[in-house]
Amino acid sequence: MTTNTTKHAHRRLTPGTLVVSHEDGEPGRIVQVCTFRRNGIDAWSYLVQTAYGEEVWEVGELFVPEQG
């Protein structure tokens, strides 16, 4: 069962957070929120710094790898 906190955890990532693209496995780091959802708090997309430059990734296109 997925809780609301887990389900929406990627909507409030902070700059510097390591993320990986679901589409091609490319890693990157959050620079800033690019667009916000209607509530003005949660992110719709992020500006992500990758090895190829800055890209805009939607929340559903990324995941945060487990640190450990």
- Structurally, what CATH architecture does the domain formed by 4-63 represent? Roll (2.30)
Alpha carbons within 13 A on the beta-carbon side of 63: 9
Decide: helix, strand or coil at residue 60. Answer: helix
Cα–Cα dist 42/39, whole Å: 7
pTM equals 0.85
Tokens of 24: 């091609």
Q: Which helix (H) or strand (E) holds 28?
A: strand 27-36
63: number of Cβ within 10 Å:
13
Structure confidence at residue 33 (pLDDT)? 96
Structure confidence at residue 2 (pLDDT)? 43
pLDDT tens string 8-67: 778 999 999 999 999 999 999 999 999 999 999 999 999 999 999 999 999 999 999 987
